[in-house]
Amino acid sequence: MSSTTTVQRPRTPVGEQLAGGRSGTIDDANAVLRVAIIGNPNTGKTTLFNALTGLRQRVGNFAGVTVERVEGHFRTPDGRRVAVLDLPGSYSLSAGSPDEKIALDVLLGHDVDRWSPQVVLVVVDAAHLDRNLFLTSQVMELGIPVVVALNQFDVAQEDGLVIDVPELIHELGVSVVPTVAKRGEGIETVKRALEIAAGLPAPARRFTLPGVAEGILAPLVGRLVGSGMLPSAARMEALRLLAATRAEPHVLGQTELLREVGEAVTALQGAGFAPHRLESEVRYAWISGVTERTVTSTSVTGSDRSHRIDTVILHRVWGPLIFLALMALVFQSVFTWAQPFIEAIEWGVARGGELVAGWMPAGDLRGLVVDGVFAGVGSVLVFLPQIAILFAFIGLLEQSGYMARAAFLMDRVMRKVGLHGKSFIPMLSGYACAVPGIMATRTIEDPKDRLATIMVVPLMSCSARLPVYTLLIGSFVPPVVYFAGVGLQGLTMLGMYLLGTLAALGAAAIFKRTLLKGPVRPMILELPGYRWPSLHSLAVSVAQRCRLFLRRAGTVILSLSIVLWAMATYPRTAVDATLPEEAQQEQQLANSLLGRVGHAIEPAVRPLGYDWKIGVSIAASFAAREVFVSTMGTIYGVGDRGDEAVALGQRLRAERNPTTGAPTYTTLVAVGLMVFYVFALMCISTVAVTVREAGGGRVGWQWAGLQFGYMLALAYGAAWIVYRGGLALGLGG
Amino acid sequence: MTLTIDTLVIVAIVGVALGFLGRRVWRAVRATRATGAAGCDAGCGCEPGGSAKARDWAET
């Protein structure tokens, strides 16, 4: 990909190239212009949205990144506000899945809470014009002015495609602007085109139906017009409804309309047409003519290159091996590369704690700041470099186009467990956080497949588990290196992620064979071309993740550290003064509110080899999993020693059972604890979003309750098997 | 006197922390009822647009 490629500009100014040669502007200088962005999946809609609005919505080189409408705005040079709505990607104006329904509702004006858009910006992948023009042609019949952004224009040029933009404008009858959204090229022209388009008449259908078919559809069109649709939109909708394989939500219950559709289908069949194919046949016939006249291909270098890479990446044997090797490299890097940065943060936290301790007078307030805030929040903050490295790798894989290949590789496995291949993208999102992962299930059409995916997404190890794994692996797994920099610590981490993934697949198989039984549907997956990741976009994405991590540390984790410190400090009780100082502190801690709660919990966790401190840390981590680490940090009160994570790890290794004198924390206990966290749903936010996405109300709560219950049972059972099995095998030391 | 001020400050800090956590729990529960809304207010990045989310659509 050449960095010097420039966007081909239209030969005449935008605005003079519009339908009918008219130009115009919106009447009211102060009015807000409402623009909806629509396009096929993975055409760069969100990148364009970000470039227009200055926002930083998540982008990725695979379909289904945006699953809901997102709003933003910008101002034109003369100060007019333009509201922009980024809609989920769709191949056509159908409403098969919840995310497609969102787009259809907005464009057809079914979204009663909002105003309809005044202009639609259709984002088209310039390298795949033929496929993208199907949706474009549908949108052009909605009775709303349209602007087409010919995005990824540089990729099309690199693929050897020459697009005659003025001819395309002539063919479509709307403004067409070549863009490279990731570099901000063409954005100002798009803004200007949107402003002008608002004052223009809406485009019209660019092809004609056979007269007989038009006549048969006339009553159906009349009914749709009678229900409030614009005539042009009604013609588009009538044609579209013929192809719908099942009744869409917005027409369900409209028996008269459905009857008319049925009658039209019968009449068309009688006239020798194939009603279900009629729309695709007439539209693609028109598209074929348009692309013949506007696109010429000089070579196939781009697709050739992607194809050559795919022969290795998607190979039946090499593909999965490359996937596993990549993951092993990522997880080992999380340990190796992060170390200098971790040490720097540890040093900073330690010096900060010492500075505050030296400045504040002795007393409970100093204890709160040093043992609560510095020990608690500091013990989590040290994991920031690892979060950054993990998300840099995930971003690289997403932007390069590899994630879509990973989904393809996993499709065979997904089908075996009964899930739709589309389920893998939400599951991949779950590696970052289960909440957006669950929301990403909106791309799945079948409600049972969607629910099954929602139920298993939290088993994918999210980034909140990373501090727990890292603390325990760093403390109890020796840093042995085997080959090419990959060692036992990285492999253990990989093992935890694989365990979660396999458990998710197993649980999905059970759900799909019991409560959510249903047919397995084939997946149609668009494999995007390989692209060099944009460093800017990568940096923005990593910075955003770091900011979110810091925000959690500064809000939830800080608040909980303060509350837990108070619980670990009060009530003050009399202690045996004859005991050594450390034993006195231990006695005070055991008599504190936190100690009493912990001792009440202890019988439940004792079979897993845990003491009350682990038990209470697990309970506290229901707010956020990282809180496990901060709670341990607070309980052990290591803030005044500095070097939080290492000190906490050392303290865990040195901890002895007061009765037996044996080590409290062994490698076996650590592995059991990690296994517990692989399976346990310790996240209040995930429960909340499951309730909502599973239907809300009582049904939503029932599914969320089942999810929490089965995951807790799985976590407890697996941790018990690991611990007891390890003891039986003599691995308890 | 120092002890009293320290205690008051600690009570205030712990109270604010408890209030914040209570508000978080309340907002998480409330989010379960907002079927059309996005995000969980968990700071995980799932909220669309974040603080920059425009409200132009609602205003017009």
Model confidence pLDDT, tens digit, residues A378-427: 888 888 888 888 888 888 888 888 888 887 888 778 888 888 777 877 88
Please tell me whether residues A66 and A187 are part of one structural domain. Answer: yes
Q: Which residues contact A152 (CB under 8 A, 6 or more apart)?
A: A43, A44, A125, A126, A127, A180, A181
Interface of A with B in 83-112 (CB under 8 A): 83, 85
Cβ–Cβ below 8 Å for A696 and B20: no
A519, A447 in Cβ contact below 8 A? Answer: no
Distance CA(A524)–CA(A184), nearest Å, equals: 31
User: Residue A178's pLDDT is what?
Assistant: 95
Q: Is A8 a residue whose pLDDT tops 80? A: no
Residue A68 host element (H or E): none
Does A667 fall in a domain? Answer: no
DSSP at A83: E
Query: Do residue A27 and residue A176 come from a single domain?
Result: yes
Instruction: Show residues of chain A in contact with B43, CB under 8 Å.
Output: 548, 551-552, 555-556
Q: How far apart (Å, rounded) are the C-alpha atoms in residues A242 and A259?
A: 12
pLDDT at A499 (0 to 100) = 95
Of A55, A556, A558, the CB nearest to B52: A55
- Assess whether A24 and A168 both reside in one domain: yes
Task: Tell whether A128 and A105 lie within a shared domain.
Answer: yes
Exposure of A142 in the CB half-sphere (CA atoms within 13 A): 29
pLDDT confidence bin for B2, thresholds 50/70/90: low
pLDDT at A3 over 50: no
- Do residue A129 and residue A221 come from a single domain? no
Chain A residues lying within 8 Å of B7, measured CB to CB: 364
Residue A301: the pLDDT is 55
pLDDT in tens, B16-33: 999 999 998 888 777 776
Whether residue A86 lies inside any domain: the answer is: yes
**pLDDT at A668 (0 to 100):** 93
Q: Which of B33, B40, B57 sits opposite A696 (nearest CB)?
A: B33
Shared-domain flag, residues A233 and A174: no
Report the mean per-residue pLDDT for chain A: 83
ipTM score: 0.70
pTM for the structure as a whole: 0.69
Residues A94 and A230 in one domain: no
Backbone phi and psi for residue A37, each to the nearest 5 degrees, phi listed first: -100, 125
Residue (of A340, A313, A453, A336) closest to A390 by Cα position: A336
Determine if residue A272 is left, alpha or beta; phi over 0 gives left, psi from -120 to 50 gives alpha, anything else beta.
left
Is cis: bond before A571, omega within 30 of 0?
yes
Are residues A163 and A85 part of one domain? Answer: yes
Confidence of residue A497 (pLDDT cuts 50, 70, 90): very high
d(CA A131, CA A91): 8
| pLDDT given for residue A544 in this prediction | 82
Look over chain B and give the mean of its residue pLDDT values, rounded to a whole number. Answer: 64
Query: Which positions in chain A touch B45 (Cβ < 8 Å)?
Result: 58, 432-433, 436, 544-545, 548
Task: Identify the DSSP state of A22.
Answer: -
Q: Is A468 helix (H, G, I), strand (E, B) or coil?
A: helix
For residue A565, give the nearest of A380, A356, A376 by alpha carbon: A376
- Determine contact, residues A33/A197, Cβ cutoff 8 Å: no
A180 found inside a domain: yes
Query: Is residue A582 pLDDT above 50, yes or no?
Result: yes
**What are A360-378's pLDDT values in tens digits?**
888 889 889 988 888 888 8
Is residue A7 pLDDT above 80, yes or no? no
Test A433 with B46 for CB contact under 8 angstroms: yes
Q: What is the pLDDT of residue A456?
A: 95
Q: Tally DSSP H helices, then E strands, for chain B.
A: 2, 0
Q: Write the residue in A114, A365, A433 that is nearest to B44 by C-beta.
A: A433
Query: Does A513 or B28 have the greater pLDDT score?
Result: A513
Cβ count within 10 A of residue A358: 8
Torsion of CA B15, B16, B19, B23, to 10 degrees: -170
Final residue of a structural domain among A268, A297, A326:
A297
| A129, amino acid identity | L
- Confidence at residue A203, expressed as pLDDT on a 0 to 100 scale: 92
Residue A96: the pLDDT is: 67
Domain extent at residue A244: 211-297
The confidence score (pLDDT) of residue A112 equals 52
- Which one has a higher pLDDT value, A100 or B34? A100
Residue in the structure block whose two tokens are 């395309």: A168
Contact B13 A433 (CB under 8 A): no
Among A274, A297, A320, residue at a domain's last position: A297
A24 and A158 housed in the same domain = yes
Res. A126 pLDDT band, cuts 50 70 90: very high
What are A317's two structure tokens? 């044997």
- pLDDT of A5 reads 31
Region A570-582 average pLDDT: 80
Q: What percent of chain A has pLDDT above 90? A: 30
A139: pLDDT confidence band, cut at 50, 70 and 90? very high
* 3-state SS class at A543: helix
The pLDDT tens digits of the residues spanning A633-667 come to 888 763 344 444 446 777 788 888 777 778 888 99
Same structural domain for residues A192 and A218?
no
Compare CB distances from A555 to B2, B20, B35 and report the shortest one's residue. B20
Domain boundary, last residue among A264, A297, A330: A297
CB A558 to CB B29 under 8 A?
no
Query: Which has more confidence, A25 or A217?
Result: A217
- A527 within a domain of the structure (yes/no): no
Lowest mean per-residue pLDDT among A22-31, A201-210, A503-512: A22-31
The predicted pLDDT at position A248 comes to: 67
Per-residue pLDDT tens digits for A293-337: 999 987 655 567 788 899 999 998 999 899 888 888 888 887 778
CATH of the domain at A139: 3.40.50.300
**What band does B42 get if pLDDT is binned at 50, 70 and 90?**
very low
Statement to judge: residues A34 and A133 lie in one domain: yes
Q: pLDDT tens-digit profile of A596-647?
A: 999 999 999 999 999 899 999 999 888 778 888 888 888 876 334 444 444 6
Q: Do A689 and B6 touch (CB under 8 A)?
A: no
Please report residues of A whose CB lies closer than 8 A to that of B52. Answer: 53-56, 72
A85 contacts in chain B (CB < 8 Å): 57
Residue B58 has pLDDT above 50, yes or no: no
Pick from A19-23, A204-208, A532-536: least confident: A19-23
Q: What local confidence, expressed as pLDDT, does residue A292 receive? A: 93
Q: Are residues A174 and A230 in the same domain?
A: no
A434 has a pLDDT exceeding 50? yes
**Tokens read off for A56:** 């930083």
